[in-house]
Amino acid sequence: MVLDDLGSSLRGTLDDLRGKSRISEDDVESVVTEIQRSLLAADVDVSLVMELSDSIETRALEEEPPAGTPARDFVLRIVYEELVDLIGESTELPLEEQTILLAGLQGSGKTTSAAKMAWWFSTKGLKPAVIQTDTFRPGAYDQAKQMTERAEVEFYGNPDAEDPVEIARNGLEETAHADVHIVDTAGRHALEDDLIAEIEEIEGVVEPDTSLLVLDAAIGQGAKDQAREFHDSIGIDGVVITKLDGTAKGGGALAAVDQTDSSIAFLGTGEEVDDIERFEPEGFISRLLGMGDLGQLAERVERAMEQTDIEEDDWDPEDMLQGNFTLNDMQKQLEAMNNMGPLSQVLDMIPGMGGGLKDQLPDDAMDVTEERMRTFQVIMDSMTDAEKEYPRAIGASQIERIARGSGTSEESVRELLQQYKMMEKTIKQFQGMGSEKEMQRMMQQMQGGGGGGMGGMGGGPFG
């Protein structure tokens, strides 16, 4: 993820402050040095790096920490607040009728982002339409059509037309009933005069409410010049950062935001149409520093439950807290977890689970865990309804049959049954917690382990 190295190295440096009640100049210098090193390695502009590090150093040495606040938590809060200030607010995108124009170089991910954004707006109850105006890149029309079909949103394009401005005009007319129009434009391998002229003409026709610059997270210092030219041409209101699921550095995108005096609108986190997040600075930085993002987690849980194949009267998660926990329940849970996206991303959103804990795991730990979950699904698909309803009655002969039918090993079947027993035990603990007050107390304990306020779902981890 963007700036992930910063989060990892900072966590290590801040851990050295554990147990200290006062912070020394040497401690502050260590933190600032790590910030400078990580940000520069991530291609963040030097001037931004120095501005940020100077602010953190000044505040850490001059401000008086609140009484009883450990040095680590005091510095962590300053770093959090300054990073949020550096990245800025999220681009304003009201949930109402609007037209959005996407700009960017070829390969930045505009066409994919257009479909993802349309999908996102559709989940908010709006009717979006994507208008594809790219007549320069072969296959642009087909890609846009396929992506919008997967997103189940309206699409307009004309593979036989040669004038992108005319396509934009006709597209607005043909999709006039849509609430949100997302206009995808052509890119080039470099900023060329004909690209700028074309996008200026399209902008004059569609009269967008918002113009977004789409940037590949892997872009480096060249982002500044690119952002400046697009901004001078059509005015950039926000940035969409794509391909954050890889090892991209992402610092160039921050330079683009600074150069255009704009903000970040969306983050693209994968290849599927639902792999997109509305950018929220507090949650993003909180995740980066290993403090979780309960707001984004809640949104993913809600989406996963909607996508999970559940008939209305067939299964209700709350039933688990009232009666027996079965393998049917466990199977639905795994299906919902799978719909939440990559496990590494989900862990980042859970206070105390991402960040430092993930740093201690082997590089392939997440892949192994996800493979194990897929194996469990296959095994449960090979069980009878009675076996899933009464798993404790499964004996050796049944284990042998299930393993043979699922193409797995008997050891894997036993591992599933052991996992089921552990989950059943956890569910029974929840069943014993009668009052809402008791549940809230437990959640506070889960979130507050580090002593520094891992907080709620609103304005960041510090409340």
Helix/strand/coil percent split, the chain, to 5:
55, 10, 35
109 is in an annotated binding site: yes
Give 352-411 as a 3 state SS string: CCCCHHHHCCCCCHHHHHHHHHHHHHHHHHCCCHHHHHCHHHCCHHHHHHHHHHHCCCHH
108 is in an annotated binding site: yes
Task: DSSP for 32-87, please give it.
Answer: HHHHHHHHHHTT--HHHHHHHHHHHHHHHHHSPPPTT--HHHHHHHHHHHHHHHHH
C-alpha 234/C-alpha 165 separation (Å) is: 15
124 is in an annotated binding site: no
105 is in an annotated binding site: yes
406 is in an annotated binding site: no
242 is in an annotated binding site: yes
Say which residues have a Cβ less than 8 Å from residue 135's Cβ, sequence separation at least 6: 161, 162, 163, 164, 167, 186
Q: What contacts 24+ positions apart, CB below 8 Å, involve 119-125?
A: 119/151, 119/152, 119/153, 119/273, 119/274, 119/276, 120/266, 120/276, 120/278, 121/95, 121/179, 121/180, 122/151, 122/152, 122/153, 123/303, 124/95, 125/95
127 is in an annotated binding site: no
14 is in an annotated binding site: no
C-alpha 265/C-alpha 92 separation (Å) is: 8
Say which residues have a Cβ less than 8 Å from residue 249's Cβ, sequence separation at least 6: 2, 3, 41, 42, 43, 217, 218, 220
CA geometry: angle at 157 spanning 152 and 163, to 5°?
160
Please tell me what DSSP assigns to residue 159.
Answer: T
185 is in an annotated binding site: yes
245 is in an annotated binding site: yes
CA geometry: angle at 277 spanning 273 and 282, to 5°?
175
106 is in an annotated binding site: yes
C-alpha 249/C-alpha 303 separation (Å) is: 29
Tokens of 454: 């891992």
- Return left, alpha or beta for 250; rule: phi > 0 is left, psi -120 to 50 is alpha, else beta: left
Q: For residue 27, list its beta bridge partners.
A: none
110 is in an annotated binding site: yes
The residue type of 67 is A
Q: Pick out the residues of the known binding site for GTP.
A: 104-111, 184-188, 242-245
List binding-site positions: 104-111, 184-188, 242-245
